[in-house]
Amino acid sequence: MMSSYRICVCFTRRFQGVEVDPPLDVREIFKKYAQGGSHLTADQLRRFLVEVQGGGDCISVNDAQGIVDQVLQKRHLITKFARHTLTLDDFHHYLFSPEFNPPIGSQVHQDMTAPLSHYYIYTGHNSYLTGNQLSSDCSDVPINESLKRGVRVVELDLWPNSTGDNVNVLHGRTLTTPVRLGKCLKSIKEHAFSASPYPVIITLEDHLTPALQAKVAQMLTETFGDMLFRPKSESLKEFPSPEKLKYRIIVSTKPPKEYLAAKSIKGKDKKLQEIKDSDEDEWGKEPLDIRNDHDDDNMSVTDTSEHNLDVENNEECTHELCPSAPSTYKSLIAIHAGKPKGGLKKALKVDPDKVRRLSLSEQALEKAAESHGTDIVRFTQKDILRVYPKGTRFNSSNYKPIIGWMHGAQMVAFNMQGYGKHLWSMHGMFRSNGGCGYVKKPDFLMNVGPDNHVFDPKAKLPVRKTLKVKVYMGDGWHLDFKKTDFDLYSPPDFYTRVGIVGVPVDKIMKKTKKKEDNWRPVWEEEFSFPLTVPELALLRVEVNEYDMSEKDDFGGQTCLPVAELRQGIRAVPLFNRKGEPYKSVRLLMQFEFI
């Protein structure tokens, strides 16, 4: 009987949450600014906001009083207050509320009047896929979801339908089921500006006959009307600004005359050999994995077969050649995709009289960065570089975006329906600038010095800033998770991983100790992160629950742009694996720059 009783006690469930006191730092700050009293007045709160939270002198006593009233109204559910001051618990509640005290701002604050090429642009890859790259359904739903998140570049692959009289969107040469182009365009119109007023760019991967190109032009015109940006000349000398292009739809693809020119020489083998020869450059004997507008995602960068050549996604021309493609279709293309014949050096040459877009696979960019880093930076000061995932990412995973950002690539294209820490980094970058989908590139990537010198991504740089991060505590899991989601018989054992995603020398991850059996863990641990390129640094935060026998359980994550962090003690909301916000899970953290 005694033995059975002990077993029963051993597995007694202990789920009741325990209220925790405010962290020591919070208590000390309250004591200091309340001047030893039990309540914090609006004027005392204003001093705290200016001196600790970095609010600046623009904060008035009336602003602080407004905060006090909002906190009391929400916390005590009353509209008329017996008092207009905060207790220690009220003050702690204020600090721990993302609604009142978020880690970054929510407003557009950067200059939006520079050309499009001066911005990182939130870019999707194969935006119509619901899942993997080989067999998932094509739909307008993932397009809608990405636009609602703030994505500004949508990619559509256009193919003739089975009867050749209409246009489908699908991932070619795979088992993906198609969706009609018209449905995708209507969804883009409906959701384009739900998250941001700044322009949406539609990149088209075009596998169409001239007749169907004319049909696409008609569909674009009828769907978007005056929203559609029509360039005044055949080629732009400079891209317009996001500000000038508010609420506009922009089309980017390869001009149709180039499509037909690639097919105009009879004798396929001869043409393939010419392209092979022209695409070899300083890297070695393999043809470059450079695509104009067509990714040819199913091919690897190391594949030297003719299928890896830049021959319009190696698609055979099945229609009779036409000397000129539909002029209306061509007139709608505002951002021309394409590259001159020859190696990468020539492809990256800047034309003073026109701007264009060039596409590189993630592997091709890595190769190019080895010997052409400054050429890429110089190219992206005026022209647009798009980077896309390698073809072996069949499961819609993603790559490290920092390589593209370091070289000024504006369109680092991601599988938004994917998963994982690289996608979290993408989400983090585009939380910048109010989440509008356009983030101004750092000045060092746009500057040109003596002797035409530009930033060298390989240069060794000194530490310019150190970010100090203190992880105080966490809360909300008992509200957003089931009691048995982590451990069956006891509260969870949480720990936090915190670190930097950025240029290679800045990248690092650290972690707190685990706190056993606590739904409201208190860590109070501090970390320092020296940064050589703080403009491109992201603070990555991930909470896990320690599991001795299996893989640790996921408890939430976020990625925040370091350049946008508000100093002081802040409430940091966490997100699930897909990047969707939890209702209640959050951390209390402090940020300081030295």
User: Residue 358 belongs to a domain with what CATH number?
Assistant: 3.20.20.190
Tokens representing 350 are: 């800047």
**CATH assignment at residue 63:** 1.10.238.10
In a domain, 443, yes or no: yes
The residues that bridge with 539 in the sheet, in sequence order, are 500, 560
Identify the domain boundary among 448, 483, 510.
448
Q: What integer is the mean pLDDT of 313-325?
A: 41
Q: What integer is the mean pLDDT of 457-484?
A: 97
Identify the domain boundary among 95, 130, 156.
95
What SS3 class is residue 394? Answer: coil
7, pLDDT greater than 90: no
Same domain (yes/no): 217, 344? yes
Q: What integer is the mean pLDDT of 132-158?
A: 98
In a domain, 9, yes or no: no
Same domain (yes/no): 428, 501? no
Tokens representing 155 are: 């990619």
Q: What integer is the mean pLDDT of 54-70?
A: 92
Catalytic residue list contains 207 = no
Chain segment 388-430, per-residue pLDDT in tens: 999 999 999 999 999 999 999 999 999 999 989 999 999 999 9
State the virtual CA torsion across 209, 214, 219, 221 in degrees, nearest 10. 150
Query: Which pLDDT belongs to residue 312?
Result: 32
Same domain (yes/no): 245, 183? yes
8, pLDDT greater than 90: no
Segment holding 359, helix H or strand E: strand 357-361
Q: What integer is the mean pLDDT of 463-482?
A: 97
110, pLDDT greater than 80: yes
Same domain (yes/no): 277, 224? yes
Query: Which pLDDT belongs to residue 81?
Result: 56
Q: What integer is the mean pLDDT of 560-570?
A: 98
- Within 10 Å of residue 445's Cβ, how many Cβ atoms? 22
In a domain, 249, yes or no: yes
Counting Cβ atoms within 10 Å, is residue 443 exposed (0-12), middle (13-18) or buried (19+)?
exposed
Query: Which pLDDT belongs to residue 432?
Result: 98
Query: Which pLDDT belongs to residue 343?
Result: 86
Same domain (yes/no): 168, 300? yes
Same domain (yes/no): 86, 225? no
- Within 10 Å of residue 581's Cβ, how many Cβ atoms? 15
74, pLDDT greater than 80: yes
In a domain, 515, yes or no: yes
Same domain (yes/no): 168, 289? yes
Chain segment 494-536, per-residue pLDDT in tens: 999 999 999 999 999 999 999 999 999 999 999 999 999 999 9
Query: Which pLDDT belongs to residue 78?
Result: 62
At residue 20 the predicted structure's pLDDT band, cuts being 50, 70 and 90, is confident
At residue 361 the predicted structure's pLDDT band, cuts being 50, 70 and 90, is very high
In a domain, 6, yes or no: no
296, pLDDT greater than 50: no
Q: What integer is the mean pLDDT of 429-450?
A: 97
Q: What integer is the mean pLDDT of 124-143?
A: 98
Query: Which pLDDT belongs to residue 79?
Result: 58
In a domain, 105, yes or no: no
Query: Which pLDDT belongs to residue 58?
Result: 86
In the chain, the number of structural domains is: 3
At residue 57 the predicted structure's pLDDT band, cuts being 50, 70 and 90, is confident
- What is the spatial distance between Cα 207 and Cα 317, in angstroms, rounded to a whole number? 9
Point out the catalytic residue in the list 92, 93, 118, 171: 171
- What is the spatial distance between Cα 252 and Cα 385, in angstroms, rounded to a whole number? 12
Query: Which pLDDT belongs to residue 482?
Result: 93
**CATH assignment at residue 505:** 2.60.40.150
Catalytic residue list contains 125 = yes
Task: Read off the DSSP letter of residue 489.
Answer: S
Same domain (yes/no): 486, 515? yes
In a domain, 456, yes or no: no
Task: Identify the top-confidence range among 10-14, 19-23, 304-308, 370-374.
Answer: 370-374
In a domain, 546, yes or no: yes
Same domain (yes/no): 125, 79? no
- What is the spatial distance between Cα 524 and Cα 12, in angstroms, rounded to a whole number? 29
Identify the domain boundary among 33, 61, 95.
95
Same domain (yes/no): 308, 428? yes
Same domain (yes/no): 554, 472? yes
Query: Which pLDDT belongs to residue 233?
Result: 87
Alpha helices in 323-420 (DSSP H): 327-331, 344-347, 362-380, 402-406
**Assign residue 252 a region: left if phi > 0, alpha if psi is -120 to 50, beta otherwise?**
beta
- Residue 57: which domain range? 24-95
Query: Which pLDDT belongs to residue 268?
Result: 45
Point out the catalytic residue in the list 92, 93, 118, 125: 125
| Mean of the per-residue pLDDT values of the chain | 87
Same domain (yes/no): 433, 530? no
- What is the spatial distance between Cα 62 and Cα 45, in angstroms, rounded to a whole number? 11
Better-scored residue on pLDDT, 7 or 281: 7
